[in-house]
Amino acid sequence: MDTGINRRTALAVALTAGAVLATQGCASAQPGGITVAKGYQSKPLPFDPKAIPGLSEKILVSHHDNNYAGAVTRLGAIEAQVAQLDPSSPGFLFNGLKREELLAMNSMILHELYFSSLGKGGSKPGAKLASQIETDFGTQQKWRDQFVAMGKALGGGSGWVLLMWSPRAGKLVNQWAADHAMTVADGRGLIALDMYEHAYHMDFGAKAAAYVDAYMGALDWANADTQFGKAAAS
């Protein structure tokens, strides 16, 4: 569960914000020492949460409203503090805030990809993406088996399983990530499976493998086809 990350991030932002103000003698912060930047808005769920097979409306709404929206809010708060940093500020302030900024930004982006990967299930990748999967993995079933195995291997821990297109590698890659900061540097995300406990514990308890199976049953390829088409054209 990434509750620890959220709490740690909030604490890091608060402490660093205090250090920024102390270092710069600034007295213009909002109550609580954090000024929330404008520019990021949470996107609504791209589906009816009642219509996703295997995953409850309750967990999908909670996941969206708390974990995803929290990351968006956190990102704005962190960027506001980065903007207040003087170039002469101690290096640890830049290191701490920019690390937390990366975590929050990737959390926002990966959660949006996760929700875009869900639907009513039963869909298949389009012809171009299907052909690329077969080229890079042998068969679609081999891709699926590897993706599922990676998700189940993360059960009880935390992280992401991502289907990425890498221009440098010239192929699709099933990528393992232990936290929000780990992605293929040149990768375009196509499919995202959230393996933090907040994504499944409410419905499945500790049965992470059952959640992975439910996710695969609800997988929708429409957004992946769109993203792969854009990647191939660039």
Give average pLDDT by consecutive 10-residue segment, the chain, 234 residues.
45 44 36 51 97 98 98 96 94 96 96 98 96 98 98 95 97 95 94 97 97 98 97 86
Q: Are residues 165 and 103 in the same domain?
A: no
* pLDDT score at 56: 98
Question: Within a domain: residue 121?
Answer: no
Q: Are residues 108 and 159 in the same domain?
A: no
By the 10 Å C-beta count (0-12 exposed, 13-18 middle, 19+ buried), 23 is classed as: middle
* pLDDT score at 23: 37
Q: Are residues 156 and 71 in the same domain?
A: no
Q: Are residues 214 and 135 in the same domain?
A: yes
Q: Are residues 217 and 182 in the same domain?
A: yes
Q: Measured between alpha carbons, how far is 215 from 54 in angstroms, rounded to an integer? A: 7
Question: Within a domain: residue 122?
Answer: no
Q: Are residues 11 and 109 in the same domain?
A: yes
Q: Measured between alpha carbons, how far is 70 from 77 in angstroms, rounded to an integer? A: 11
Residues whose CB is less than 8 angstroms from the CB of residue 141 and which lie 6 or more positions away in sequence, other chains included: none
Kindly report the CATH number assigned to the domain that includes residue 145.
Answer: 3.55.40.20
Residues whose CB is less than 8 angstroms from the CB of residue 137 and which lie 6 or more positions away in sequence, other chains included: 143, 146, 172
* pLDDT score at 39: 72
Instruction: Say how many residues make up the chain.
Output: 234
Q: Which of 209, 166, 203 is nearest to 49 (CA)?
A: 203
Question: Within a domain: residue 111?
Answer: yes
* pLDDT score at 13: 44
Q: Are residues 134 and 183 in the same domain?
A: yes
pTM: 0.85
Question: Within a domain: residue 187?
Answer: yes
Q: Give CA angle at 109 (147, 223), nearest 5°.
A: 60
Question: Within a domain: residue 226?
Answer: yes
Q: Are residues 8 and 110 in the same domain?
A: yes
Q: Are residues 93 and 182 in the same domain?
A: no
* pLDDT score at 66: 97
Q: Are residues 7 and 104 in the same domain?
A: yes
Question: Within a domain: residue 140?
Answer: yes
Q: What is the domain range of residue 195?
A: 127-233
Q: Are residues 102 and 137 in the same domain?
A: no
Q: Are residues 97 and 134 in the same domain?
A: no
Q: Measured between alpha carbons, how far is 82 from 72 in angstroms, rounded to an integer? A: 15
- The last residue of one of the domains, among 54, 88, 116, is 116
- As for how many domains the chain has, the answer is 2
